[in-house]
Amino acid sequence: MFTRVARNNYLLILAAVFAVEWAWLAIEPYDRADWALENALVVVSVLVLGLTYRAFPLSNISYTLIFIFLLLHEIGAHYTYARVPYDDGLMFLFGFSLNDTLGFERNHFDRAIHFSYGLLLAYPVREVFIRIASVRGFWGYFLPLDLTMSSSMLFELFEWGAAEFFGGDLGMAYLGTQGDIWDAHKDMALASLGALIAMGVTAAINLSLQRDFAAEWNESLRVKIFQPLGENEIKRPGRKRPRLKG
């Protein structure tokens, strides 16, 4: 049974802003086929968030972080990630070239988005873990980091598969390696770094606000089942639940 959820005007504003940006950037993208491919997961994600809102509403912080990531992703989908004119925008607004200043020889917008994936989405993942799996202490920080790293790897495999399936210019536009043979490795490393920073900041905030932070951390690492599992559990008569420590 669904619990009654109060109307979230803030979330409605986020949804409206995203809808406007999505519609605007859907007009004459650089590569319509690549835009459609890039938006496939966006459509799925938005549907999941909408369908689960009544049963499992997230915090405004999590919705905001997801919102920012989707805004950035839509920019990449419109131009294709390898062609986002961020340097031209900086030259127009501030009169300096980021690429020249930092010695970049490629378009690094895709790198920024992979970093943002970890930085912005690790916290919503943490909220899901805590509220559904009741993880605490160390695991409340490690598991979001672990899932962010593994999902980043899965996305790189998905990109590879899509590029192989579609081939040609569409496959190359979606893959977006820009000639870097280590592109996938760097993308995964940046996503991992972003998630590590997000969990580090979250831990630092909780350390300052949560009086039992150290006790909860220690408890999460305490052994709770004495007996080995695996073949020992399979052979145990009656398959009783292992005895918990304490």
pLDDT tens track for 56-90: 999 999 999 999 999 999 999 999 888 899 888 88
- Chain centroid, CA 218 distance in Å: 28
Nearest to 136 by CA among 43, 48, 184, 206: 206
Q: pTM of the predicted model, to two decimals?
A: 0.86
Q: Residue 115 in contact with residue 193, Cβ under 8 Å?
A: yes
Specify the number of domains making up the chain: 1
The verdict on residue 211 lying in a domain is yes
Could you list the residue range(s) of the whole structural domain that residue 39 is in? 9-239
In a domain, 99, yes or no: yes
Q: Is residue 1 part of a domain?
A: no
Question: Would you say residue 44 lies in a domain?
Answer: yes
Residue with tokens 């598991």: 143
Three-class SS of residue 225?
strand
> pLDDT of 183-242, one tens digit each?
788 889 999 999 999 999 999 999 999 999 999 999 999 998 888 887 777 777 766 565
Instruction: Give the contacts of 218 (CB within 8 A, at least 6 positions apart).
Output: 137
Give the distance from CA 217 to its chain's centroid: 24
